[in-house]
Chains A and B, each alone.
Chain A
Amino acid sequence: MNNNLSSEEFVSRYIDNELSDIDRLSFENKLLHDPELREEYNLQNDLINGIKETRRLELKNRLTNIPIPTPIYQTIGFKAIATAGVVGLGIGIYFMSGEKDNIQLSPIEITQNQLSVREDNTIPDMPKTITPAKEKKEKSNLVTQKKNASSVLAKNTKIKPEEPIVEQPKIVEPNVIQPNIVETFDNEDIGAGDISNDNPNNNLDVIKENIESAVEISTVEDRKNKFHYKFYENKLFLLGNFNDMPYEILELNSAKDKSYFLYYNNNFYKLNSGQEKPAPLIKIENDSLLNELSIIQSNKR
């Protein structure tokens, strides 16, 4: 151990770890038996601890002064927006559910006459494309609505939910009772005696009768049912592609019932007026019936 050094210097070097291994062991041995040296050591040790503590507090003080950004979900603004959002959502859900329960479409009153051919022979305005209504809405609609055209359309959309295209109804040519053509006016009684044929109102009455018995026709392009038909609400739906070739509907009125036949692509097809579900069009093979239908068709023309 270097005896030239003061005890203060020895302690300082010991603390700073600047002593050799031999001097260190010697110092530690002396420290155990020398109270003065121990006191000196404690003082310098406290000094070093004081420096460390000061530095520690300095760093802590530095950290304390660092602002910690409040997470966005804890800010007053965010809470206010979140609250407003929740309230808004609640109100929205309330009203949405309320609207859902109160969905009531005003029923469209369509009379039988409107469904049949109009007197002025104009085609009723029909939408080219009908967007299918949602199933839930249809349910409530159909319950509240009377048997009317809108329900027919709703059902129609059920048949083909993928962009159904309902074409404008084609009008059946009514069985118009044509007035007897007078070749000459020799018989004056014709003009004077029977004025009913000249009276346009009387003619309209006759036509009206026939018009009322006519059935409205719609062609619906249906991928599933390509050559089918069905009747619904006194309306004939031809399912499939009927746009390429002309078709004709024959209506035969008997005392009890009406019979419908489709003439398409040089063939006759029987149409059962009670068929409410799509049914395939079956060609008539009966020769006698075919002859009769051909005669009726030619007479009509």
Chain B
Amino acid sequence: MGDIKLRVRNLDAWYGDNHVLKNINLDILSRAITAIIGPSGCGKTTLLRVINRLHETVPNARVRGEVILDGKNIYDPDVNPVEIRRKIGMIFQQPTVFPHLSIHDNVAIGLKLNGINDRELLDKIVRKSLREAGLWSEVEDRLWDRATDLSGGQKQRLAIARAIALEPEVLLMDEPTSALDPGATSRIEALMTNLKKDYTIIVVTHNIQFAARTADYIAFLFNGMLIEYGVAQEILERPKEKLTERYLLGEVDLERWL
């Protein structure tokens, strides 16, 4: 058991009048994979976006409560959200690479725009990040080609390389494999297991098999509320809550509950 990297305290979030997260309390452990599972619309993506303060960039979105990263509440007024997002990387559901940039520059852009211009240093970090993301051998001879020619799985690994180039402390992943085929999915899963040695990973998924294969801890969210949270194996094999059990068995009909 590692240390606690991130504490979520009494967290509420809204989109306009829509109360999407209700009093969430959650401790995320360092250098482990925590999966947030639950049916569509349960608020799991919002929870992820609250953690790197991306939620508030949407018009009419609101947050109340605390997210404490290494002892500091990131919602304190003296905290710059831009700094927070540099420490907390994010991977999106749809592999998002910048189509106007080369493979190399897609990885380097975060550093470049943050003021790092040393070519040698950039090349070194790009190479290291691509290796860590398991993409190096596939792109080493075409680093200056456009990134749009890559396959979906390669694009997602490029997005991971772009995020880890900034050496974040936490990686947020929003259904990172739901747009990928099984081969690409298993590569990402292996990569995640590898990455958790260095990073705290929080992954949102509605795929229980995916969570079972990758996660150390699982949080089950339903209708904006945290229903159950604990060690992955226990949640999957012996859930304490009836609702968790029914969700895992595929018995929960979201429409009827809302």
- A, B bound: no
